[in-house]
């Protein structure tokens, strides 16, 4: 009865101290993590809708359908140096976890020893030991278990870090790819504008030669024409710069990056007397309807806070709290006794006196070590572990808040790009008509060159802005996809 009582008391003590408790995520996070939309409408905290299903849970190959972009992302994921370092970190943590799991097993060491001794120049005596030494820690108070669980949490953090690097590379590669497409279209606009303005300059020179225009008009036209030339040079330089950045992601020397012109439909440049009809409202038709739900109050987001749990950074923060939890439990375990069983078996010729041949030697030792006074080190370790756990809990909440903020920003950017798209399209149409009309009036001597210059420059600016707005929309959609945890699997 006494033995049973002691065993029961020991079990209750261990349970009360929480040395063997498993980690459970109990940190409270804000319910309105997405905050307020751009339209001032509160975001529903937990109304999962089609947006999560159609975007957050899509693989990057489903989300990015351009074959060349898929190929480029695949090459980046295969060759990138940062991702390779993250993979190595995962392998290192896996090795540490394996060692932590094997800590339950005994250690076995072969430790042969020989001694040669002589007293007062007498005959030397030769002694030897050929033992196998075995040592094993008994995990009564959870020290080994908590260290193993903490090592597992570290391994999971390394895996989440690898996913975070992978997701970031997918996002950055796609953004640079679409930026290249936007710059290509801007270059097309500038080159066609260069051709049109060259015609305008030739017309103005002919009028000047016939005495129907002043030399200042020719000079102004030529200055504007040369300005387009410099913009072409700058755009080509920007294209080369973006290609070089992608090559660094690929861990390759600078080269041309192949891309298509279909993934990001941009407005084609318009000429005299023509209005482009190639502009497709991809924001209205393809991108945002799956993210927005039209109601009587206006657009209302239909994504839930639970979608954020797919994000690698939030899962990594959760595993960091898990590691801190088990480190605290291990620090508590250090206050309890440690029990070690050790023994040896082998041959020796020294058992109080040297004999020949050697005899079989067996030894078994059990030891218990109870800390009494460790100069405050155990108390300090426990306090540090508890403070680390508290700090990581607050950081987890901040990570969730930051994630919600990213979603809010991406949604607002998507909505802004969509709202501006119709305005840019109409602006290009009316400026194209204005440019065509003023140019015809100038040809008939009914408009000045200043009106033509103003129309030309306004049209070019609108075309370039419209092209960049389409890129902004693609960038915002990518940001939303990543912010909701897309690309993590």
Residue 151: closest CA among 90, 87, 108: 90
Which H/E stretch holds residue 245? helix 215-249
Question: What is residue 485's predicted lDDT score, i.e. its pLDDT?
Answer: 86
Q: Is the pLDDT of residue 304 over 70?
A: no
Residue pair 88/157 in contact (Cβ under 8 Å)? The answer is no
Question: What is residue 283's predicted lDDT score, i.e. its pLDDT?
Answer: 35
Task: Provide CB contacts within 8 A for 336, sequence distance 6+.
Answer: 19, 140, 141, 370
Residue 406: closest CA among 474, 488, 300, 305: 305
pLDDT, tens digit (0-9, with 9 covering 90-100), for 133-153:
999 988 888 889 999 999 999
Burial of residue 17 (number of CB atoms within 10 Å: 0-12, 13-18, 19+): middle
Q: Is the pLDDT of residue 11 over 70?
A: no
Question: What is residue 310's predicted lDDT score, i.e. its pLDDT?
Answer: 84
Residue pair 291/481 in contact (Cβ under 8 Å)? The answer is no
Mean pLDDT of 196-208: 78
Q: Is the pLDDT of residue 113 over 90?
A: no
Q: Is the pLDDT of residue 261 over 80?
A: no
Per-residue DSSP letters for 340-404? EEEEEEEEEEESSSEEEEEEEEEEEEEEEE--S--TTHHHHHHHHHHHHHHHHHHHHHHHHHHHH
Predicted confidence band of residue 40 (pLDDT cuts 50, 70, 90): very low
Taking each helix axis as running N to C, give the angle between helix 449-483 and helix 215-249, from 0 to 180 degrees, rounded to the nearest 10. 20
Question: What is residue 42's predicted lDDT score, i.e. its pLDDT?
Answer: 37
Burial of residue 274 (number of CB atoms within 10 Å: 0-12, 13-18, 19+): exposed
Neighbours of 228 (CB within 10 A): 20
**128 compared with 40, residue with greater pLDDT:** 128
What is the value of pTM for the model shown?
0.81
Question: What is residue 17's predicted lDDT score, i.e. its pLDDT?
Answer: 57
Judge: domain 33-105+143-345+380-483, CATH 3.40.50.300: no
Question: What is residue 100's predicted lDDT score, i.e. its pLDDT?
Answer: 92
Question: What is residue 88's predicted lDDT score, i.e. its pLDDT?
Answer: 96
pLDDT, tens digit (0-9, with 9 covering 90-100), for 154-163:
999 999 999 9
Task: Check whether the bond before 184 is cis (ω within 30° of 0).
Answer: no
Question: What is residue 10's predicted lDDT score, i.e. its pLDDT?
Answer: 57
**Sequence ranges of the domains in the chain:** 33-105+143-345+380-483
Mean pLDDT of 275-290: 34
| Whole-angstrom distance, CA of residue 174 vs CA of residue 52 | 20
pLDDT, tens digit (0-9, with 9 covering 90-100), for 63-76:
888 889 999 999 99
Residue pair 306/48 in contact (Cβ under 8 Å)? The answer is yes
Q: In terms of DSSP bridges, do strands 292-295 and 113-117 run parallel, antiparallel, or are they unpaired?
A: unpaired
Torsion angle of the four alpha carbons 187, 243, 284, 416, in this order, in degrees rounded to the nearest 10: -90
Torsion angle of the four alpha carbons 142, 145, 149, 155, in this order, in degrees rounded to the nearest 10: 140
Task: Provide CB contacts within 8 A for 281, sequence distance 6+.
Answer: 421, 422, 425
Predicted confidence band of residue 411 (pLDDT cuts 50, 70, 90): confident
Question: Encoding tokens for residue 328?
Answer: 């605290």
Question: What is residue 251's predicted lDDT score, i.e. its pLDDT?
Answer: 94
Question: What is residue 204's predicted lDDT score, i.e. its pLDDT?
Answer: 72
Question: What is residue 358's predicted lDDT score, i.e. its pLDDT?
Answer: 78
| Whole-angstrom distance, CA of residue 412 vs CA of residue 342 | 66
Q: Is the pLDDT of residue 311 over 70?
A: yes
Predicted confidence band of residue 167 (pLDDT cuts 50, 70, 90): very high
Question: Encoding tokens for residue 444?
Answer: 């008939």
Mean pLDDT of 367-389: 92
Question: What is residue 241's predicted lDDT score, i.e. its pLDDT?
Answer: 96
pLDDT, tens digit (0-9, with 9 covering 90-100), for 324-376:
999 999 999 999 888 898 999 888 888 667 777 778 888 899 888 889 988 89
Question: What is residue 162's predicted lDDT score, i.e. its pLDDT?
Answer: 95
């Amino acid at each position: 009865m006494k033995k049973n009582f002691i065993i029961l008391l020991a079990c209750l003590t261990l349970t009360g101290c929480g040395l063997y408790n498993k980690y459970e995520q109990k940190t409270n996070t804000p319910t309105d993590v997405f905050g307020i939309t751009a339209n001032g409408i509160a975001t529903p905290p937990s109304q999962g809708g089609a947006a999560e299903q159609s975007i957050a849970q899509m693989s990057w190959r489903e989300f990015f359908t351009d074959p060349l972009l898929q190929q480029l992302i695949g090459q980046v994921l295969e060759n990138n140096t940062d991702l390779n370092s993250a993979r190595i970190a995962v392998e290192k943590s896996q090795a540490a976890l394996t060692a932590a799991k094997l800590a339950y097993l005994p250690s076995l060491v072969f430790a042969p020893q020989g001694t040669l001794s002589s007293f007062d120049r007498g005959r030397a005596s030769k002694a030897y030991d050929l033992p196998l030494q075995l040592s094993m820690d008994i995990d009564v108070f959870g020290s080994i278990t908590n260290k193993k669980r903490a090592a597992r949490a570290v391994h999971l953090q390394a895996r989440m870090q690898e996913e975070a690097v992978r997701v970031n590379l997918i996002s950055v590669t796609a953004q640079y790819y679409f930026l290249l497409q936007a710059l290509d279209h801007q270059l097309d606009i500038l080159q066609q504008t260069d051709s049109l303005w060259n015609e305008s300059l030739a017309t103005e020179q002919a009028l000047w030669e016939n005495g129907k225009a002043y030399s200042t008009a020719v000079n102004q036209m030529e200055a504007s024409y040369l300005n387009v030339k410099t913009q072409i040079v700058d755009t080509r330089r920007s294209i080369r710069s973006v290609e070089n950045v992608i090559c660094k992601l690929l861990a390759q020397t600078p080269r041309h990056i192949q891309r298509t012109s279909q993934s990001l439909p941009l407005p084609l440049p318009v000429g005299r007397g023509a209005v482009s009809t190639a502009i497709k409202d991809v924001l209205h038709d393809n991108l945002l309807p799956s993210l927005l739900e039209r109601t009587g109050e206006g657009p209302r987001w239909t994504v839930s806070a639970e979608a954020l749990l797919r994000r690698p950074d939030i899962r990594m923060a959760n595993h960091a709290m898990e590691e801190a939890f088990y480190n605290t439990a291990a620090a508590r375990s250090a206050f309890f006794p440690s029990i070690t069983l050790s023994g040896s078996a082998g041959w020796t010729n020294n058992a109080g006196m040297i004999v020949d041949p050697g005899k079989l030697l067996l030894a078994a030792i059990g030891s218990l070590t109870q800390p009494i006074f460790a100069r405050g080190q155990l108390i300090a370790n426990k306090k540090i572990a508890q403070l680390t756990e508290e700090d990581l809990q607050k950081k987890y909440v901040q990570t969730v808040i930051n994630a919600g903020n990213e979603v809010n920003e991406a949604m607002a950017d998507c909505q802004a790009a969509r709202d501006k798209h119709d305005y840019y399209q109409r602006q290009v149409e009316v400026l194209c008509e204005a440019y065509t009309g003023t140019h015809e009036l100038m040809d008939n001597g009914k408009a000045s060159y200043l009106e033509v210059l103003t129309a030309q420059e306004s049209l070019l600016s609108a075309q370039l802005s419209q092209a960049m707005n389409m890129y902004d929309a693609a960038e915002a959609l990518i940001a939303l996809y990543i912010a909701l945890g897309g690309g993590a699997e």
